[in-house]
Amino acid sequence: MHLHRALVPAFVLLAACSGPAGRTEAQAPPLAQPTRAAPSDPLNMKASFAPVVRRAAPAVVNISAKRVVRQQVDPFWQMFGMGVPPSRVEGSLGSGVIVRSDGIIITNNHVIEGGQEITVALADRREFPARVLLVDARGDLAVLKIDAGAERLPVMPIDDSEDAQVGDLVLAIGDPFGVGQTVTNGIISALNRAADPQGGTPMTYIQTDAAINPGNSGGALVDMDGDLIGVNSFIVSRSGGSAGVGFAIPAAMVRRVVEAAAGGGHVLVRSWLGARTQPVTPEIARSVGLSSPQGALVADIWPGGPADRAGLKSGDIIVSVNGRPVTDPAAVSFAVGAARPGESLALSVRRNEQVIKASLRPEPPPAKPARDEWLVDGRNPFQGATVVNVSPAVAEELGIDAFSSRGVLVINISRGFAMNAGLRPGDVVRQVNGREIGTVADLRGALSVPAANWAVTILRGEREITANFRT
């Protein structure tokens, strides 16, 4: 955000709810930032969002994606030319934002996921076919490209300065139904809010009370300068409608994804901390002298990783990154993942009741040991399972914990004995017939010895399971 902020009617409520005029300065200290003052005269009370909308709205687009879905057909009715057709076309509608004048657009991955035909409708109703440049399923972002010839399309600037504050006014702009744009206003109600809408690794979001209508996914969360500070992703609502708590992916991650796509990348390789962190509980906070349970406790260090080279140790508590307070491990993961490889991050770390400074240089996670993907065959309990070695790179790709998943990971189950044996993707193979399994090569060796009975030990989540099989 820039320093200039337009004053808007919503501030009238703030003025109306303020205390009596006779309060002393001791009771009502001056605002820390004058640029966020309430309206001072009737003219200011007539201010409007219109200038912000005029600047931002031309860059907001509608996105439609069509996909062909195969359906199960009853052969009996098909003999008589009846029944459902073998396939049907499904569609989805969402929004997007033009972030480069040559036609690069950011949206949510779930808007275009599985789409075989993607169409972008501009604010002036012109339509263009779009192709996918990059998909980041973990972060629910996708980058599209349309070809408008030599025309320079309207762009919404990305503001990743991260100077937004709770209470700042924002607009949610989308084009949800292909019939016109919608604009709603609200405030930022939380920053770095950890949430896990997809059941995977928690991400951090900007939380807002601005109404996010159905189809606004992929639309813009805009500050009072008309800049993009987030991409609206989802809403938590009891009614299922637009009234609820909205969540937007912060602009720092949006910029990383756009830069990766513009540079020819098809996936986003996030920077890596090289440490496993966990929340600071009230008990931990009391034991180390913290006034509140804030920060990220370093539980484990990957040898030779960025955290190790920065001098971090198990038991350290990361309390800030680049001067911004850390509330939980998700805030650290976001700050590191949004950093460009090689970029230096300034950490404040609490160790033995003292705060020390550390300089961390995140880097892409290493692919060691090599992936060595193998579809298991032969007469054994793993027949039909696809397995890989777990490295930090594989863990990052699959959204799993590299520390607890060291070994051989099952990533897919197809037809075969493995399906009947109850193996699942995500299982980590520990032992086969008493032999320790640390790599795919170890598993190959163990399965190469013929046996009628197999004793298999796997790690599933935090449970270690041993079972016996006959093949």
Query: Which residues have a catalytic role annotated?
Result: 110, 140, 217
Collapsed DSSP state (helix, strand, coil) of residue 29: coil
- E-strand spans in 162-259? 169-174, 182-195, 203-208, 220-222, 228-236, 245-250
* Distances 233 to 58, 166, 195, 205, 219 between C-alpha atoms, Å: 20, 19, 11, 9, 8
- Enter the tokens of residue 365: 């996670």
CA 150 and chain centroid, separation:
33
Q: Which residues pair with 347 in a beta bridge?
A: 321, 358
Q: Write the CB contacts of 49 (distance below 8 Å, at least 6 apart in sequence).
A: 6, 8, 171, 183, 185
Collapsed DSSP state (helix, strand, coil) of residue 434: coil
Cα–Cα distance between 218 and 239 in angstroms, integer? 21
Collapsed DSSP state (helix, strand, coil) of residue 97: strand
Contact predicate 206/164, CB 8 Å: yes
